[in-house]
Every structure is written in structure tokens, then in C-alpha cells.
Structure 1
Amino acid sequence: MSDPDLELASRRAIYQRIADTPGVHFRALLDELEYAQGTLQYHLRWLADEGIVEVSDDGKYTRYYPAAEFGKTDRAVMNALRREYSRRILAYLLADGPLSTTELSDRLDKAQSTVSWHLSKLAEADLVTKERDGRSVVYEVSDPDRVEYLYTVYRRSFTDTVVDRVLGLWDSY
């Protein structure tokens, strides 16, 4: 990269990690790159101030994206895909949806309250829609093609073979 903004090897390394793992959060960068916390914070702030990276808060983590490559909607999808159970919920909805909270809870072997929390976060981000079906509510992925595309492109950065099996994408590896 000959960009004068990325002359420092440390900034190049940080940016490259973000480009390779869009949606990576601060703690993962700290663990993977082994910079001092203050050094990493300084460079991330500089990269964000220069418009080279975008910062996204998913409610639990601050996540980082290459600025030119990810719009708001794609950042929301990637934020969800970076959370294990949100990723699995999306996978089941893509493969078998629409599904109710109970059906998802059974597939994930998680409490309905946990599944509900993730579904509410996915709904807030406009990644799933919900519709009443009799006495239950069923969920469906809002833009399945986009979710599947982003998962497929970045699946190597997700360490979740369960989702690969659910989506049947592993065969195309």
C-alpha cells in the first residue's frame, strides 16, 4: 500500500487486519496484533479521523470496517454475523425460515429468552422481519441474498462450521 496516510507499518498492519476481518472488534485487534492498548487506540482513532476506517457500535462491541467497502446496511449485517448466536439464527432462518422463537430455540439449544434477545437486536437492525402467525411470531431474513453474500465472502473470518453446515456452503469451499 503506497498511500502516504499508511506509511507507518503499525497503521498498515492494523488496517490490513480490519480489511481481512471486517467487523473485528477492539479486543480481538488487541489480542491479534499485540500492540499496547494506548497505541492501538491512537492508531484506530487516527484511521477513523482520516476516513480510512469506519467505526460501528453493535451494542456490545466497537467494530471496525474499511471505510470505502461497507455501507451502513452491510456494517449492520456484518455486526450480526460477528455475533455467534445472531449468525446461527440468520443461518437457520436462511436455510429453514421463516421460523418462530420456539423453533429457533430448539435448533440452537438455547433458552427462548436468549433467542428473543438476539432476534430483537436483529429486528432493530432491520435484518429480520417478524409476522404474527396465529399465536406465535415468525421471523424471516429481510435481505437473504445480501446476508448470504457477505457470509460467503467473509466466511473464513468466522470460525463457525455449524453455520457452514446449516447453509450448505462448506461444499463450495
Structure 2
Amino acid sequence: MSEDTAAELELPTRRAIYQRIVDTPGIHVRALFDDLDLAKGTVQYHLRWLEDEDIVEVSDDGEYTRYYPADSFDESDRQVLNALRRTLARRVLAYLAAEEQLTTADLADHLDKSNSTISWHLSKLQDAGLVEKHRDGRCVLYELTDPQRVRYLYTVYRASFTDRLVDRLFDLWESY
């Protein structure tokens, strides 16, 4: 970061927005203005400036535009964090991290959701390259493509997710 950029971060609002992005990589704009109690236009103005100055990077997860500190995460890490920022996707990833391979029906039972809802989320996770499926006879099993990366990123940013169910699943995995 150049000296000029550091000087621009002296603006309290801009510094607060940037710090929140550093602390919560993958945060989306609504969460920023809710968390910081700022007007939407103010947050958008500063985000645009931070992006134009290459201080933050943008990732679109299909549902939200998410923000990351520049040069801190590669595309695959952003994909993992994008998924971890969505509650149901995070829970699907947690069950797959804890149990390695599960069917849509297994996940639906664990999460008390319909098979179609779980199937939709698995499809999105598969499109993002986070989950792969394998056929075992008539059964389709899902597993994480890089379980260590998912576990690592969840562990590092655990405090920013605040999801007790997922915490218990990852604690279970760590106890092995």
C-alpha cells in the first residue's frame, strides 16, 4: 500500500470500513452498513474508492457482492469464504468436513431441510468447485474437494461466523 493510500485510510469512516473487511473477509455491503451503522450511500462511496485504489477486491457469489482485502486471498479461498458466509452452505460444508461423504438425504435429515433445498445448495457448492459428487451404485455421495482448506479457513475466521452448530461439528472433527 502506498503512502498516499495509507493517508486516505486516515478518514475514520473509510478506515472503519476497511478494517471491517480485514476482520470479516467476504462481508457484503448490507452487513457493512448494518454493522457500522452507516448510510448505504456512504458505505458504497467508500467501497468504490477502496476498490478503485486496489485496496479491496470484489467477489460475486451469485447472491451477494463480497469484499476482501486486496492480494490477501486467491480465487479458491474467496470461493470457500463466500460459501462459509452463507448459513446453510456453511452448515453443509461443516457436515461434509465432519463426516467426509454424505448423500442429499443425509444432509437434509441433519439440517432439517428438504432434499430439494439441499440439492440446490450442493449444486451451487459444486459449481464453485468446493464439492464433488460420486456415484456409489444407486446412491450419490457428496464430499469436499479440499477439506483441509475449508477447515483451515473456517478455523481462522471462526469468530466472524458465530454459528454454534458449525462450531460443534468442526470441534468434533478436531477431536479426531
TM over 0.5: yes
CA contact (8 A) 1:92 1:166 kept: yes
Tell whether 2:139 aligns with 1:155. no
Following superposition of structure 1 onto structure 2, how do residues 23-38 of structure 1 map, counting pairs within 5 Å?
23-38=26-41
CA contact (8 A) 2:83 2:90 kept: yes
Q: Distance in 2 between matches of 1:22 and 1:169?
A: 25
SS of equivalent to 2:132: strand
Alpha-carbon offset, residue 23 of structure 1: 0.7
- State, as a whole percentage, how many aligned pairs show the same letter: 66
Tell whether 2:165 aligns with 1:165. no
Matching residue of 1:83: 86
| Cα shift readout 1:27-81 (whole Å, capped 9, x = no counterpart) | 1101111221111111001101111111111111111111121111110000000
Q: Distance in 1 between matches of 2:109 and 2:174?
A: 25
Alpha-carbon offset, residue 166 of structure 1: 1.1
| Cα shift readout 1:129-158 (whole Å, capped 9, x = no counterpart) | 111111121111001111000000000000
Following superposition of structure 1 onto structure 2, how do residues 16-27 of structure 1 map, counting pairs within 5 Å?
16-27=19-30
Alpha-carbon offset, residue 171 of structure 1: 8.2
User: What RMSD in Å do the two structures reach over aligned CA positions?
Assistant: 1.8
Select the residue among 114, 122, 136 that pairs with 2:139: 136
Alpha-carbon offset, residue 169 of structure 1: 6.3
Please list every run of 5 or more consecutive structure 1 residues that lacks an aligned counterpart in the other structure.
Answer: none
Moved over 3 A (4+): 169-172
- The structure-2 alpha-carbon separation of the partners of 1:157 and 1:170, relative to structure 1 and needing over 3 Å to count, comes to farther
> With structure 2 as the length reference, what TM-score do the two structures score?
0.93
CA contact (8 A) 2:98 2:172 kept: no
Q: Distance in 1 between matches of 2:70 and 2:172?
A: 28
SS of equivalent to 1:63: strand
SS of equivalent to 1:99: coil
Select the residue among 1, 4, 24 that pairs with 2:7: 4
Q: Distance in 1 between matches of 2:108 and 2:12?
A: 46
Select the residue among 116, 121, 126 that pairs with 2:119: 116
> With structure 1 as the length reference, what TM-score do the two structures score?
0.94
Please list every run of 5 or more consecutive structure 2 residues that lacks an aligned counterpart in the other structure.
Answer: none
